[in-house]
Structure 1
Amino acid sequence: MEHPPSKSPKMGRSRLLRVSLILGSVFTILLIIIYWDDVGATYFYLHTTISGPHTTRPPPAANPDHKPKTEPDKDKDKDKEPSFLSDIDAFVNQFLLSTMDPTDQARGQNLAGGGDAQNQSNESKSDEKFVPRREWKIHLTPIAPELKQRQEERKATVRSVCGANSSLEFPGKNRTFDDIPNKELDHLIVDDRHGIIYCYVPKVACTNWKRIMIVLSESLLVDGAPYQDPLDVSREQAHSSDAHFSFNKFWKRYGKFSRHLMKIKLKKYTKFLFVRDPFVRLISAYRSKFEELNEGFYKSFAVVMLKRYGNVTNPPTSVVDAFAAGIRPTFTNFLQYILDPNTEKSAPYNEHWRQVHRMCHPCQINYDFVGKLETLDEDVEHLLRILRVDNVVQFPTSHHNQTKNNWEDQWFASIPAEMRRELYKVYEADFKMFGYAKPEKLLHE
């Protein structure tokens, strides 16, 4: 009787090898999918160069008389930009110039170095050509050491106030990031294309920063292409929630993975905010919302203030009629509204006078950059360099901090001292956390 031929050991090993390869491939693919959903997309955005259509405005020419404020940092052992990045930037600049036609090449060099006045004059007379933003020169000069030191001091101040050794207590100080409700994360705007998270604070140049975020994230289109110049983004567009992807929208997109993804981005991305003297910010909020025609704020807040504190039983139904009759809440009425315990029983403070630490959660989020309106120009230049987008976008010029002039005499002279002290307690955490001196004279007069 014949027996069936036995399987060759070699064939068995070959089949086992094929099965192992198939299983290994499937496992690898699953790992890739998980990595991409979790971390890979973040890494991709952080290391992808974004180019787009030409800006609708020509880039500003550099000032030929401008000189660096400080000598390059000679201390090689301290916080210094990696030299290889500067080498790469130099190579990119040289490559861009070499690929341009002679006319554009001369113009590119002129814009980068200032050029002579005659060339700049001739260029301004013609709108036929302008250097695309991707061909602007990348700044290679080191960031001034005093600016780096300024940031270290500001961040250290925040950490000290939030730390366990600080005697100052305020709501939300000791909670974790997971304890923060989604609705309180609406001020954290994300740009995945460049790896940036911006916490906007109303009345602190936030309109222009929102414009910058729209341009960088390419979240809005005009004629089918992303906006390339922040000044082309209207104020209404800048403040539209549809134009920004904020943390409080993560839940709808990512579901139960939203918090995990937030933490990844908070760890990987560069996070920044801008702040302002708390009392000056209050004055600015009052001026823009109650001294100007604003129907929404009139109906939502001014009418309440007039009835409660202004002895106006039946305020006009519209802001136009109210202004025509000379009826509007005073600055004192505004502060009374803020200090009234009943105010927040119905809803939290409006974002224009809500404390910064309640919007940006600096005790739970370790910000990489803390800017101030009082040093806006220097801080903007420094931050755009850190973000490595100073060759991509320029911060719009504006008349900032106008409220600061004589604010103490003009605005608080008629406010009772006791009310001033109560107001300071409400905003004390912001004063201390962001390094603003306690207004002793104002509180003890």
Structure 2
Amino acid sequence: MPSNVAKYLKFPYVRVPKRANILILLLLLLVSAATLSILFISHMHVKNGTKPKRQTAVLVQESQFMLRDNKTGRLVWDMKEMKRLHGTRRPVHTTSRIPAMAKIVQNKRSMGAEQTNQVKFDKYFKMADPRLPPLSPSWLAEREAVFEQRSNRIANVCRAYDVRIGRGNVTSRPGVGPVERINGDHFVSVPALNVTACLLAKVASTSLLSTLLRVTGKEVPQLEGNRTSLHAAAGALRLPPSQLGAMLHRSLTVLLVRHPLRRLVAAYRDKIAGRPNWPMLHHFEFLKFGSAPKSQLGRELRDAEMQEHRREALSRDGVPTFGEFLAVALLGDRPLRDAHWAPYWRYCAPCHVRYRMVGQLETAGDDLRYLWHALRLYYWVQIPWLHRSRPEQQPEEGLQSLADTYLRPLERPIMMAFKREYKLDFDLFGYDWAGLMRMSGHCVIGDTGCDLL
């Protein structure tokens, strides 16, 4: 006769020995318990908004990159990077201790990708057969001391100016000082060389960018066809925000600067002078003359001044003067921002990104020599100068001549705007602001009460 279990299972033609009844019941109970456990776990994951992941043993190495407010020392961003040493790929865990600040996005680069890039670079680099020149340890130590002195000066000036860091409309703390913002599009990185640089226009950026592109095997566009194509190609050297934080922490960070007035004049000569720009002139007219007055006499006087300005602009073929260019770039509700004349503090955030090498174009012979040595580029890629604005034999124009030509004719409101935008750069990198104001005639020697000092 069929057993009780067989009857329960509705298999009337199956005969099960009585001694197996207990084993079958136990098996059914185990299967039911396992099914209920799986359903319960799946329900909890769906309820919590997470999905179960396969657990794999992995050995990780954690490194931390923190951004602190330069004055209070309070933690602004805390980025933790988890690098895979063994096992499967492991994402980065990023935390933020300021809820109002947006989180730095996560780093997902695996160690395998880094090793692949390094192998490709080593193969390409080996073909060049680099030979380092004999640089004495004392000379290297002297340059490193100079870079450390420059970094310390930047830190002290940032605290004195109460420079804050911001993201969107949120800043690290209340205040009235300048606000820096870190923009990933302003940095180029070469992980194979372990270098990250903020390259501004008119500071040997074209030469250095072409070198980094050539080193990494990227195609270097020709400048004759499209002068902006080289900087457009720099996108190949930009890292996503998920990787930029880690590179700023562990790589050689480089910033090159030059005298702010020289850079501003170079940008004006290269981008503004020598070509008509009527939209800029119309913008200047709106800033200077404003909207039409309500009275008839006021409108007539305004129109007469505008007609006089337009006749004068026609006499120079619609080319804006340096004063008109500065007024449009610095004044008004919407000043004309551009990377070619943006101040260093606004573009590269030197108060919140600690640059291990701050080079100056005035000492480029030694600074670039040190950089080429640190990146192992000697006798492989020579230091290029692709975008010279003057022949090699022509000496650089003196500051007194530049001050007389470009600053002395400026009106007081434009000079005050020039001070608000660029004086921080002068103090950060050790350029003489007070001396320039006296050279330009806007402040008298010995007059400590000048509002431009």
Q: TM-score range by the shorter chain?
A: 0.5 to 0.7
8 Å Cα contact 1:309/1:333 also seen in 2: no
Structure 2: 5+ residue stretches without partners: 1-18, 21-53, 60-85, 92-107, 174-178, 290-304, 445-453
> Which of 258, 261, 270 lines up with 2:252 in the alignment?
270
Structure 1: 5+ residue stretches without partners: 5-23, 54-95, 97-131, 223-229, 251-257, 317-321
CA distance in 2, matches of 1:233, 1:150: 40
CA distance in 1, matches of 2:248, 2:231: 23
SS at match of 1:37: coil
| Cα shift readout 1:256-302 (whole Å, capped 9, x = no counterpart) | xx43x222111222110111222222211111111133x7xx36645
CA distance in 2, matches of 1:303, 1:213: 40
| Cα shift readout 1:196-253 (whole Å, capped 9, x = no counterpart) | 211111111111121112112223279xxxxxxx999974431215653324xx1xxx
Amino acid at match of 2:162: E
8 Å Cα contact 2:186/2:199 also seen in 1: yes
CA distance in 1, matches of 2:323, 2:143: 38
Q: What is the match of residue 109 of structure 1?
A: none
Q: After TM superposition, list the pairs within 5 Å mapping 1:35-434 onto structure 2.
A: 37-39=109-111, 41-42=113-114, 45=117, 49-52=121-124, 134-142=128-136, 144=139, 145-162=141-158, 166-170=159-163, 172=165, 175=172, 184-220=183-219, 235-241=227-233, 243-247=235-239, 250=240, 258-259=241-242, 261-293=243-275, 298=277, 301-305=280-284, 308-309=287-288, 326-344=317-335, 349-397=337-385, 398=388, 399=390, 402-404=396-398, 406-416=401-411, 419-434=414-429
CA distance in 2, matches of 1:186, 1:430: 21
CA distance in 1, matches of 2:130, 2:87: 40
Q: What RMSD in Å do the two structures reach over aligned CA positions?
A: 4.1
> Which of 419, 425, 433 lines up with 1:438 in the alignment?
433
| Cα shift readout 1:416-442 (whole Å, capped 9, x = no counterpart) | 456434412221221111121223414
Change in 2 beyond 3 A, CA 1:410/1:180: closer
Which structure's relative contact order is higher, taking Cα pairs within 8 Å and 6+ residues apart?
Answer: 1
Following superposition, the deviation at residue 154 of structure 1 comes to 0.9
CA distance in 2, matches of 1:239, 1:312: 38
| Cα shift readout 1:382-412 (whole Å, capped 9, x = no counterpart) | 1111222224311214448845452112222
Q: What is the match of residue 106 of structure 1?
A: none
8 Å Cα contact 1:139/1:390 also seen in 2: yes
Change in 2 beyond 3 A, CA 1:135/1:220: same
CA distance in 2, matches of 1:343, 1:438: 26
Amino acid at match of 1:237: S
CA distance in 2, matches of 1:368, 1:355: 20
CA distance in 2, matches of 1:175, 1:211: 36
State which structure, 1 or 2, has the greater radius of gyration over its C-alpha atoms. 2
SS at match of 1:286: helix
CA distance in 1, matches of 2:118, 2:398: 38
SS at match of 1:381: helix
Q: What is the match of residue 68 of structure 1?
A: none
SS at match of 2:122: coil
Q: What is the match of residue 63 of structure 2?
A: none
Percent identity over the alignment? 20
Change in 2 beyond 3 A, CA 1:194/1:48: farther
Amino acid at match of 1:331: F
CA distance in 2, matches of 1:28, 1:425: 53
> Which of 80, 87, 100 lines up with 1:31 in the alignment?
87
CA distance in 2, matches of 1:306, 1:241: 37
Change in 2 beyond 3 A, CA 1:341/1:221: closer
Change in 2 beyond 3 A, CA 1:300/1:199: farther
SS at match of 2:358: strand
CA distance in 1, matches of 2:244, 2:215: 19
Greater strand share, structure number: 2
CA distance in 2, matches of 1:218, 1:159: 36
CA distance in 2, matches of 1:314, 1:382: 54
Following superposition, the deviation at residue 33 of structure 1 comes to 2.0
8 Å Cα contact 1:192/1:217 also seen in 2: no
CA distance in 2, matches of 1:360, 1:26: 41
Change in 2 beyond 3 A, CA 1:231/1:421: closer
8 Å Cα contact 2:213/2:220 also seen in 1: no
8 Å Cα contact 2:220/2:230 also seen in 1: no
8 Å Cα contact 1:191/1:213 also seen in 2: yes
Change in 2 beyond 3 A, CA 1:233/1:337: closer
